[in-house]
Amino acid sequence: MVVHPLYTDIPKPERFTYPFNYEPHPLCQLAAKEVQQEIARINPQEGKMFGVLVVSLPPSPSDGRGDLGFLAAYSGLLEGRNDWEYFVPPIYDAQQPDGYFKQQEQIISLTSHLSPLTSKQMSQQLQEWLFHQYIIRNARGQEKDLVEIWQDYYDRPKLRTKYPLPPGGTGDCCAPKLLQYAFLHGLKPVCMAEFWWGPSTKTEVRQHLNYYPACRGKCKPILTWMLQGLDVDPDPEQLSYEQMEIPVVYEDEWLLVVDKPSGLLSVPGRFATYSVETVMQQRYPDSKIVHRLDMGTSGLLIVAKTMEVYKLLQEQFVKHQVKKKYVAQLEASPNPSEGGEITARKALLPFGEVGRGSISLPLRPDPMNRPRQVVDMEHGKRAVTEYEYLNNNMVALWPQTGRTHQLRIHCAHPDGLGRPIVGDELYGFGKANSQQPQAKSRLMLHAAEIWFRHPVTGETMHLTSPIPF
């Protein structure tokens, strides 16, 4: 059975889930717990993304009352199969041994050694043929194949050239599979959520049982099409941000050092203009932020009042002459949802004692799921962090390089500290699974100290900010 009943008095949400930034609705959490029992029975050996879609069932002929049910899905294949009875089927089944796709794959494999160039062209043609087989429906009942959806989404000539066809595996993620089944069977979507089961991969940091948004690279074009006709929650990133006080720690005629609060952008984003930089430019029109902190990170930021001072300070960052100390509160366990014990790095002393060391894990962006970063030993850029435990759950961090999300990944990755920062939605447990109540309020990462040379006077500057947690 693919449609599973959901017995509960929990009220339905007013609108459907915005799939790229959400908190899992209690109905989805209830459905996910039932799905997790089935996953445990299967006992997959690799980490995998799973999804649930709560739906309104058609009214019963006896009482005319519609009830709730849910659908479950997994991304790609599960233990090499795509035909598990508990889960919705794929949008298109390319795994049939006697099907056209598998037969052509075999021909390409047998002839690849004879003509590698011809084999590559055949593979590209077969992949494009496969995308045309994905006939995808939206909430209005309209249908397009995957190539049409992709090219309509990237309709500008420059983007069309950059993204001519979808990447491999597009259409096989949880969210499209769930919505496709619902639309084809007259089920009205109520809310949706996706969670990770199992260990992280070597490159991508994922936490067991943590909820994650749909991937943007593969799923954004498809879901933009599929959700047409549904009343969907607004994108939180397009909502206005709270106006916050920005304390000034130091100021002279050339520069300021401010204490950025958690929840405030350093510079304007894609949609929101309110940021530290825009506030400072209202006071000093020529001012510019010299470096950045993640929106959730609090602490010290240098602001140059002129472009000349900005360039001089930037030069110090490029030459690694600026030193920064961060303080982070870590999760008490690498997997609070399972109550796992601490598995410390070899560089650490036994847990409970003070330990220090260095982490070197090269990083690069994940083009299919921005803004996430991944560890890539071959193609990643050098990223080094020095650390020292202050107590069991607090750690001081000195980044030797300035990669995006460096401290967050170096804390969370199994080859780093193996303990995510409390409140980290991307690489940790977020709000749903953290054992720390503070996770509901903010990311527990603070830029506490900074050292640099004054660009005009040459004075050595050392500024501090009290830890707010």
Catalytic residues, by residue number, are: 294
The number of beta carbons lying within 10 Å of the beta carbon of residue 245 is: 8
Q: Using an 8 Å Cβ cutoff, are 423 and 438 in contact?
A: yes
Whether cis (ω within 30° of 0) applies to the bond prior to 371 is yes
CB 297 within 8 A of CB 443: yes
Instruction: Decide: residue 436, CB within 10 A, 0-12 exposed, 13-18 middle, 19+ buried.
Output: buried
| Rounded-to-integer distance, Cα 163 and Cα 177, Å | 22
Give Cα 355 distance to the centre of its chain: 30
Nearest to 348 by CA among 387, 315, 316: 387
